[in-house]
Structure 1
Amino acid sequence: MKQLKVKDIAKLWQCEERQVTRWCREGRILGAERIGKEWLIPQEAEKPLDKRTKESANVTNKNVPSDIHFDANGGREHVIHAFTDKYHRDPVSVSFTPYRICPLGAHSDHNLGKITGFALNKGIYMAYGPKMNGIIEISSLQFEKRAQWFVGDTPANKEGDWADHLRGATIALNERYPLRIGMSAVLDGELPIGGLSSSAAVIITFLHALCKLNNIRLHHEEFITIAQEAENKYVGVSCGRLDQSCEIYCREDNLLYMDMKNLTYQNIPTNPMMKPYEFAIFFSGLEHNLASSKFNMRVDELRSAAYAIKAFAGLEYGKFSETYMRDVPYEVYLKYRDKLPENWRKRAEHWYSEYFRVEAGAKAWEEGDIEKFGKLVFESGWSSIHNYETGSPELKELYEIMTRTKGIYGGRFSGAGFKGCCMALIDPEYEEEILKTVKEEYCKAFPQLADKYCAFICHSADGVHLSK
């Protein structure tokens, strides 16, 4: 990476040398370093906006530098203005990660199953700038408490707040690539919290910003691994790689089809003959907290079933934590399933049936059969309720409402399924009728949540466009 002196950058940017020097002192030029009395600046560094100009006063997607390319309806501008109000300067960049939905493949990635997914055209935004002292200072517009820590001395134990995921990510990244520069940042989500992998989206958004500030370039797999590690090791959630993979690998108008055992994937294009579709997201009004839910218990029950069957069948097995349902052939499961405790057997039944549904769903999508695909999604929802035994009364009611609402091809819980939301694949022609019907029936069943319930229409989008 070629570095230029202040006078050379000033000539390149067509501005005064003292202006460039001031930007360097304020930490507004990424990668600028002071060597003795001289500032050295990367040749490809982005020119900060001059707050004296009309261009800066009317911040738009075009004049705010970012490596994430996404057409949003205000989310970017919202965090930019929040950052400017808080720090009285423009952010140097904005990072974005989309939410995701998983129509088929629920509760299977952590045991090396197959999954499907879409990235949505809504997500998490973060406006940020560097702090040369190594302090990370970050605020969320969805939580009151501001979080702070030092990149080189992040608390070893979680603190029980919304920023734990980011502390875990800082530690995981710093173990691989020593960090020097911190950040001031403001983040916000476009949809309510719960069921759309907002935690994974926040982590990836944060990692992308922190890497850019420290001139670190991660491969896709590194982003996914570090994000998963933050949740597994620091936060204490036994999640797999589904969320992070969808948020990075998905492409607009394509169904992501991925094998979590060998990490191979393909994006299956929407068949030109397929009927039109869009996504409806129905929020129950209940807040979602994965770490305090029964999520980890379900994972352990499923892994226990695999461990027990291996013992019954005389198969080789090692550590419990390294045992996966994918290790057990289906015919071996059928032979020994009656020996399992009922709840273990139910978890395994869901895992195998979901595995087959994913394969059938990928084929149906490729063939353009959205009715068949939707039917499989409804079956997945039923199995999550009755075999994996997730779902609050509110989410179960939403699921039942969806099954009898005209124009919905298929739907199920989104995310862990204990609180949060449901997703549905719908016919756009019935959009207005669907939104009206679901709201009326749900609020009639749970009037105390009428002021918290909400619904959104979304479309597929690209996953994160990472810096090259």
Structure 2
Amino acid sequence: MNNYQYHIFSPYRVCPLGAHVDHQHGLVTGFAINKGVDLWFTPSEDSQVHLESKSFEEIVDFEMNTRTQVKEGNWGDYARGAKYALSKRFELVKGINGVIQGSLPVGGLSSSAAVLIAYVMAFAKANHITLKPFEVVLIASEAEREYIGLNNGLLDQSCIALGQKDGLLFLDCDTNDYRVIKKHPDMPEFEIGIFFSGLTRNLVNSDYNLRVYECKVAAWNMLAYVDTPLKGFDKTFLRDIPKESFEKTRDIMPARFARRAEHFYSEYRRVRQGVTAWETGNLQLFGKLSFDSCESSIHNYECGSPELIAIYNSMHKLPGVYGGRFSGAGFKGAVIALVDPKNKESIEIEVTKQYLAQFPEYETTFKTYWVKPDDGARFID
């Protein structure tokens, strides 16, 4: 794309530990990976935004200096969402002329967050706005919540903007404190397998938002039972409630809400243990905790389609698989695994055989991809 002035690479992300807790201000971990979204663009002379996609036929055109309208229900909503959030902070007068392309047709890797971050960075560049990486995180997250309509936390955007190829991102979604923990020199080599079920999903129309509300209702139950004043729904988070309150109330609240809270508190513990395992190079323990996270996702958080559960069941006992879990919201999409590179060929063969024996209708759409951790979103020279 040599006819464009700038090139942004915005990676996809995977989260080995810290599933479904960022929206409750929990602890999360993640990697940016070496597959993602490429955006080539040139700043416009005026406020016109003109975008083309290598994945969709529609062309997107809008003005940067006019009020953002309601969603139009196409891929251009992510560009309009980035404009919406950025224009709350800065005056935007210059548009861009660009083309965007994704490198993996896979659900569960937060492609929407990668796209939003690319647009935020591009619009900022065109308007001579300097943003720190965490400012990009906050703006892109706000665009996804307020414009796209997904009640997410900061996990996806943080991994994509802050990731480093030689480390694990550890983020506290309550304080927004984060650090990248370098890979221990004694840690075994690993690659990340992405097993794409063949199903795609739209998080806004899935049970993702419902689970967020269930977690908040669980928190309200605990506060009510221990006679603590309730806060507004938008200010209620499981992170603010001591685990002791959960232990006192878990048997008297409705079971579905108790299961959501159980996932949160157990995942908090698993992330703490996982960070210690990573710091000491114990990939076996780190992987086991990722498996445990997936089990809790299935039984406590109650996500996971039959297809994802089948992939998980086929891979989690194979030689060379350290750990893994559903990727993304966990309703369709993909399953990830941390694997010994020496075993990846046999793992791919066995998972494919077992999965297609159970779901032969996905023979043409089931895919396995192998990726590695990478640096976060950046301009490419």
Match of 2:197 among 269, 272, 284: 284
How high is the sequence identity, in percent, across the aligned residues? 43
**2:154 matches 1:241:** yes
Q: Which residue of 2 aligns with 1:457?
A: 370
For each residue in 1:393-442, what CA deviation from the matched residue of structure 2 results, as whole angstroms up to 9, or x when unmatched?
A: 11111111111222111111100011111110001110110111111111
Match of 1:230 among 116, 130, 143: 143
Alignment of 1:16-415 (within 5 A): 80=1, 90-415=3-328
Q: Is the 8 A contact 1:193 1:288 kept in 2?
A: no
- Helix, strand or coil for the counterpart of 1:354? helix
Q: Is the 8 A contact 2:326 2:334 kept in 1?
A: yes
- Helix, strand or coil for the counterpart of 1:176? coil
Whose RCO is larger (CA < 8 A, sep 6+)? Answer: 2
For each residue in 1:278-326, what CA deviation from the matched residue of structure 2 results, as whole angstroms up to 9, or x when unmatched?
A: 1111111111211111100000000111122112112233211110000
Coordinate RMSD, CA, aligned: 1.4
Match of 2:352 among 431, 436, 439: 439
- Helix, strand or coil for the counterpart of 1:397? helix
Q: Is the 8 A contact 1:407 1:426 kept in 2?
A: yes
Q: Match for 1:305: what amino acid? A: A
Q: Is the 8 A contact 1:237 1:291 kept in 2?
A: yes
Q: Match for 1:176: what amino acid? A: R
Question: Offset of 1:226 from its aligned partner?
Answer: 1.0
Q: Match for 1:171: what amino acid? A: Y
- In structure 2, C-alpha distance between the alignment counterparts of 1:316 and 1:463, rounded to whole Å: 41
Q: Is the 8 A contact 1:305 1:345 kept in 2?
A: yes
Q: Is the 8 A contact 1:117 1:256 kept in 2?
A: yes
Question: Offset of 1:354 from its aligned partner?
Answer: 0.6
For each residue in 1:19-73, what CA deviation from the matched residue of structure 2 results, as whole angstroms up to 9, or x when unmatched?
A: xxxxxxxxxxxxxxxxxxxxxxxxxxxxxxxxxxxxxxxxxxxxxxxxxxxxxxx
Kindly tell me: are residues 368 and 214 of structure 1, through their superposed partners in 2, closer, same or farther at Cα, counting changes over 3 Å?
Answer: same
Kindly tell me: are residues 337 and 466 of structure 1, through their superposed partners in 2, closer, same or farther at Cα, counting changes over 3 Å?
Answer: farther
- Helix, strand or coil for the counterpart of 1:338? coil
Question: Offset of 1:155 from its aligned partner?
Answer: 3.7
- Helix, strand or coil for the counterpart of 1:305? helix
**How many residues in Structure 1 have an aligned counterpart in Structure 2?**
380
Q: TM-score, normalised by structure 1?
A: 0.79
Residue ranges of structure 2 left out of the alignment (5+ in a row): none
Q: Match for 1:370: what amino acid? A: L
For each residue in 1:330-351, what CA deviation from the matched residue of structure 2 results, as whole angstroms up to 9, or x when unmatched?
A: 0111101112111111111111
For each residue in 1:62-114, what CA deviation from the matched residue of structure 2 results, as whole angstroms up to 9, or x when unmatched?
A: xxxxxxxxxxxxxxxxxx17xxxxxxxx1011111111100000100011000
- Helix, strand or coil for the counterpart of 1:160? coil
- In structure 2, C-alpha distance between the alignment counterparts of 1:194 and 1:94, rounded to whole Å: 24
Question: Offset of 1:153 from its aligned partner?
Answer: 2.1
Question: Offset of 1:142 from its aligned partner?
Answer: 1.5
Question: Offset of 1:154 from its aligned partner?
Answer: 4.5
Question: Offset of 1:256 from its aligned partner?
Answer: 1.0
Q: Bigger shift: 185-194 or 147-156? A: 147-156
